[in-house]
Amino acid sequence: MTESAPDTPPTEPAPGFAGIHPDHSAAIYRQLVAGQVLLRQVYNPDRGALEANPLYNVVYGHLAHFRELYRHLGLELVFDERGGFFYLREGSDDESEEHDENALKVQVVLLLIGRYYARTGRDLQYLGRPDAGLAQDDLEALAADAEYRDLLATARIDKGWDEAMDFLVARHFAFRTGAARYILSAAGMRFLEQLVEEYEYSRG
């Protein structure tokens, strides 16, 4: 009697949609098409700490499938390995005006936060720590700076720093850790690091 072929090892992800819960796939889609980044770690306000994101693990474990899925929708699923997050961008070279505007807003807000933090003599890495980040007095200092207000307005952020931080939180570039306290997510920190690297490179 011929022995049947062994089953697929449980550690090997099943191909296609097999092994992916529809609710997880739908939640991932909603986040990504809303312009949010899908993070490896998310902030748990009950624990006051960062913890693993199950949806990130779903995408990471079935990466070839999700890349092919979004390719068929005219989108590119991008993985930033250093930052530990996924995001979508248009599959064509022509990016939408809305995408450009949102990217500009993220860049301006993060650049101003980084500049302010550096001017106060603090290491930028503290922006991503749950025990540090931006507190109420930091937000008040940012709001009191006329130059920063003008730059926010140039980026079409007309309601000041409340709107700016809400924008970052909505797209998962920052977490709200208290009534008026924020930290940058891994995506926010990675974006800020790239801005700093580009600035240092431009200076030679």
Check if the beta carbon of residue 39 is closer than 8 Å to that of residue 84: yes
Question: pLDDT tens for residues 141-163?
Answer: 999 999 999 999 999 999 999 99
Read off the pTM: 0.83
Domains of the chain by residue range: 22-90, 97-202
Q: What is the CATH number of domain 22-90?
A: 1.10.10
How, if at all, do strands 85-90 and 41-44 pair?
unpaired
Using alpha carbons, select from 28, 122, 20, 110 the residue that is nearest to residue 62.
20
Question: pLDDT tens for residues 174-204?
Answer: 999 988 899 999 999 999 998 888 766 666 6
Q: Find all residues with CB under 8 Å of 88, minimum gap 6, and list them.
A: 32, 33, 70, 75, 76, 77, 78
Q: Where are the beta strands (DSSP E) in 13-144?
A: 38-39, 41-44, 49-52, 75-80, 85-90
